[in-house]
Structure 1
């Protein structure tokens, strides 16, 4: 009889996990409180986190696809939110997941009952309980809205809301809007407000690097990371972290100034925190609004001094502010978890989990049957790193890979906290060092080994017999994999004896991904040259 698994949350991570577990022979059941799959990638105006109408994915289509389900030709270089949602709907149907999913089914809590997980959920107004051998929770990375406590906010007579509750933007017609916080959400709201608001101020207390989606050679910015370059990154981050961090900061600062040369000192964007703790903002959407003055970065709020008046920490006073919107992000949480299994006993602190996945529970049956998705991440584009987590969990639950003893799991957690503390101290910054960030050199190697993908075995060492055999069989293809586009399909090439067969279409997809990326790069360069030529002709 197949082992039963409940997967709570049918956003991208939950869907991917459901497919992988189903593929590996588990009896799967998915639970989703909304009436659709794909989670936040479908816009909603309720009290749940979602994209806005004009949100664009930060990773390019060339790096973002699920490893065995490529994007269609119609997808933009940087997919829109709607394209991502439609992609998830298509993924769900292509792999026959929909019959295994309960929609409008909100999991309220879970407990351990006679060696089973009792999952209590409300569906269509009725409470039910399902019993499962394994339980996977996928609440998303950011759950509880974080709102600052502005001094004397009670004096403010305009609307005050969190971005989570952002309504139809037409509501802000002719208003002066103050956004508190400058990250991706602020960019999304500026774009939404542009047709309606009179002026938008963006209050922030830390610097920020603005980078473009495209490099000067026409490639998407994330195409710079080939397989070879990834291993250089992992080596440098592990053995020479200070040198590598300084190098990346200089590179990104140069890229920022070249892509967006108009960055006045008054905006307060420099000095920016290190990219080691604070990722840059892909700022193509917001920069035109910054440049034309519609959106203006200002210093953080000191206090509210009148019904519509805000004083900033540099002494400047903003009059006639109609609405304040917090774009200050979210805390990670698992709201359905009872106290015994809650991975966040302390809010906004790293989760009490091994590899940010498995509970550090005294009962080995709990450790080997409960897992959390989306609670660990490192700078790597697209959905692949979350696929790897689901693959690793599946391999462990099948007994093909194994968790270490509890003492080693706890030692890993202590080492992880020490790494975070040393990084924060080194860069004197916790500006955006969110609770789920992990060390890539350590965690990626563990994921590769536990999931059984074979990337390290075939590419990381020139002395590997697997690498030599792969090169000997097809030298040109080997070079394309290692130095060409880092296609997601590369993760599906190899059979490492873990019971998961390679994707038969992986090689063809890698070749096609490289062809499409190059064709679009050439098309983009031609468009840029045409634009320059028309500009010169218009100036004569």
Structure 2
């Protein structure tokens, strides 16, 4: 029997997962489709959905790994290439490259009595190997969610995943469908190249600036803990005072409380709406040729429609039933732990305002510690498993009434989520001295942390 675990993916989540497994002496093999680490942040990765003008929407202070800060001089909101270099440096610093098989596609993960059979393909050669467990860290932004248009469009129709450069907009009448963070980035890009730019928006959003008083917005307000409803009300009032109401720019106002959907961190979109560089439109009700009709009856012609309509969870190498899939996402405890399969972990299938990569690293530490404790048969690991079985369907939402959207199906409240992770980690670490050393044949060369 193979005592190794398979880590699928070498993006930020895969890398911190690999590092934590290594810390706790858990043998593993990393499997990565691309030829290098970094995931979607490596724009040279043919599977990346990154675009050339992309930057972090959260500040580096709130996003970086605490014990591996970004280099001095890195911009507050770094560009994708700086982040790619950061993850490559992370992999070198913790000697993770040697643990990965690159240019390797995972074709199938199938459970059996010994663990998991994993079939991979590399250089045209297929092989099936037995692993003790599987940790899936392939990310959530790969499979485009591309709704059908109400009619036939005769112009150029693309999804945001196909957008790479503002040059794609040159000389075109462009309609951006959607108003999330990427949609707003792309609309701002289009302003400087397209003949015209419109945005089709169905619902309201909260718009946040990246800076307030010269400081990153996401670094403010953390010192004072307020009741949830009061924080929602107060932050919404503050943002309205600073930014105004979306309806003042021609956009619908949100009909939900702040933080019940992911906010848009972009003040330039409002700037260009206010200057007439971008025209706000309603929902699309009909398409014929190059003519688009909107919910208010107005019509306009376009050469390109860019659907910045987001992504859907997609794990083509595993049966959704094996993930306890329910509705728009797998039903897992803390978005990680399967209620029955103790050797399957969904790494990084979590979104939260301000969670950052440090929050994901804490998730990885908990999983690695749980595996190590389970290997020794500790009581604390069994207690966590019982908690998982009883609470797999519950969300760490902190009481927020998140919108019923596919992209919000795996959204959590940062404070609630990190507190739960920390609580379980403390319980497992308290039992750590009772763990018997793993047999030498099971250890990585780095040994235990």
Instruction: Flag the 1:433–1:94 CA change in 2: closer, same or farther, 3 A.
Output: closer
1:89-129 CA-partner distances (Å, limit 9, x unpaired) = 11011111111111111111112345132211111121122
Establish whether residue 334 from structure 1 lines up as the match of residue 315 from structure 2. Answer: yes
Q: Provide the rounded CA distance (Å) in 2 between the counterparts of 1:330 and 1:70.
A: 29
Instruction: Flag the 1:416–1:215 CA change in 2: closer, same or farther, 3 A.
Output: same
Instruction: Flag the 1:450–1:386 CA change in 2: closer, same or farther, 3 A.
Output: same
Q: Provide the rounded CA distance (Å) in 2 between the counterparts of 1:283 and 1:403.
A: 45
SS of alignment partner, residue 215 of structure 2: coil
Q: Provide the rounded CA distance (Å) in 1 between the counterparts of 2:161 and 2:291.
A: 24
SS of alignment partner, residue 219 of structure 2: helix
Query: Aligned residue for 1:391?
Result: 365
Establish whether residue 316 from structure 1 lines up as the match of residue 313 from structure 2. Answer: no
* Aligned residues: CA RMSD: 2.8
Query: Aligned residue for 2:439?
Result: none
Moved more, 408-417 or 98-107: 408-417
Query: Aligned residue for 1:457?
Result: none
Query: Aligned residue for 1:301?
Result: 284
Q: Provide the rounded CA distance (Å) in 2 between the counterparts of 1:121 and 1:249.
A: 50
Instruction: Flag the 1:62–1:440 CA change in 2: closer, same or farther, 3 A.
Output: closer
Instruction: Flag the 1:191–1:265 CA change in 2: closer, same or farther, 3 A.
Output: closer
Tell which has more relative contact order, 1 or 2 (C-alpha 8 A, sep 6+): 2
2:134–2:345 Cα contact (<8 Å) kept: yes
TM-score with structure 2 length normalisation?
0.86
Aligned match of 2:155 in 154, 158, 168? 158
SS of alignment partner, residue 22 of structure 1: helix
Q: Provide the rounded CA distance (Å) in 2 between the counterparts of 1:443 and 1:416.
A: 9
Establish whether residue 40 from structure 1 lines up as the match of residue 40 from structure 2. Answer: yes
1:351–1:375 Cα contact (<8 Å) kept: no
Q: How many residues are matched?
A: 428
Instruction: Flag the 1:284–1:36 CA change in 2: closer, same or farther, 3 A.
Output: farther
Q: Provide the rounded CA distance (Å) in 1 between the counterparts of 2:2 and 2:406.
A: 43
Instruction: Flag the 1:289–1:442 CA change in 2: closer, same or farther, 3 A.
Output: closer
Query: Aligned residue for 1:248?
Result: 232
Measure how far apart 1:445 and its partner are. Answer: 2.3
Q: Provide the rounded CA distance (Å) in 1 between the counterparts of 2:422 and 2:386.
A: 23
Instruction: Flag the 1:453–1:251 CA change in 2: closer, same or farther, 3 A.
Output: farther
Measure how far apart 1:3 and its partner are. Answer: 4.6
Q: Provide the rounded CA distance (Å) in 1 between the counterparts of 2:30 and 2:393.
A: 33
Q: Which runs of 5+ in 1 are unaligned?
A: 238-242, 362-366, 455-494, 500-540
1:176-215 equivalences in 2 (<5 Å)? 176-215=173-212
2:232–2:258 Cα contact (<8 Å) kept: yes
Measure how far apart 1:84 and its partner are. Answer: 1.0
Instruction: Flag the 1:161–1:334 CA change in 2: closer, same or farther, 3 A.
Output: same
Aligned match of 2:350 in 369, 376, 380? 376
Q: Provide the rounded CA distance (Å) in 2 between the counterparts of 1:498 and 1:358.
A: 20
Q: Which has the higher helix share?
A: 1
Measure how far apart 1:415 and its partner are. Answer: 4.0
2:3–2:27 Cα contact (<8 Å) kept: yes
Instruction: Flag the 1:343–1:14 CA change in 2: closer, same or farther, 3 A.
Output: farther
Q: Provide the rounded CA distance (Å) in 2 between the counterparts of 1:409 and 1:280.
A: 30
Query: Aligned residue for 2:440?
Result: none
Aligned match of 1:223 in 219, 224, 228? 219
2:33–2:104 Cα contact (<8 Å) kept: yes
Q: Provide the rounded CA distance (Å) in 1 between the counterparts of 2:265 and 2:81.
A: 19
Q: Provide the rounded CA distance (Å) in 2 between the counterparts of 1:403 and 1:423.
A: 30
Query: Aligned residue for 2:87?
Result: 88
SS of alignment partner, residue 445 of structure 1: helix
Q: Provide the rounded CA distance (Å) in 2 between the counterparts of 1:211 and 1:433.
A: 19
Q: Provide the rounded CA distance (Å) in 1 between the counterparts of 2:360 and 2:124.
A: 32
SS of alignment partner, residue 393 of structure 1: helix
Instruction: Flag the 1:127–1:356 CA change in 2: closer, same or farther, 3 A.
Output: same
Measure how far apart 1:439 and its partner are. Answer: 4.5
Measure how far apart 1:39 and its partner are. Answer: 0.7
SS of alignment partner, residue 278 of structure 1: coil
Aligned match of 1:430 in 390, 397, 404? 404
Q: Which runs of 5+ in 2 are unaligned?
A: 434-449
Instruction: Flag the 1:249–1:431 CA change in 2: closer, same or farther, 3 A.
Output: farther
Q: Provide the rounded CA distance (Å) in 2 between the counterparts of 1:397 and 1:80.
A: 35
1:517-528 equivalences in 2 (<5 Å)? none
Q: Which has the larger radius of gyration?
A: 1
Q: Provide the rounded CA distance (Å) in 2 between the counterparts of 1:406 and 1:137.
A: 19
1:144–1:331 Cα contact (<8 Å) kept: yes
Instruction: Flag the 1:251–1:113 CA change in 2: closer, same or farther, 3 A.
Output: closer
Instruction: Flag the 1:356–1:404 CA change in 2: closer, same or farther, 3 A.
Output: farther
Moved more, 186-195 or 389-398: 186-195
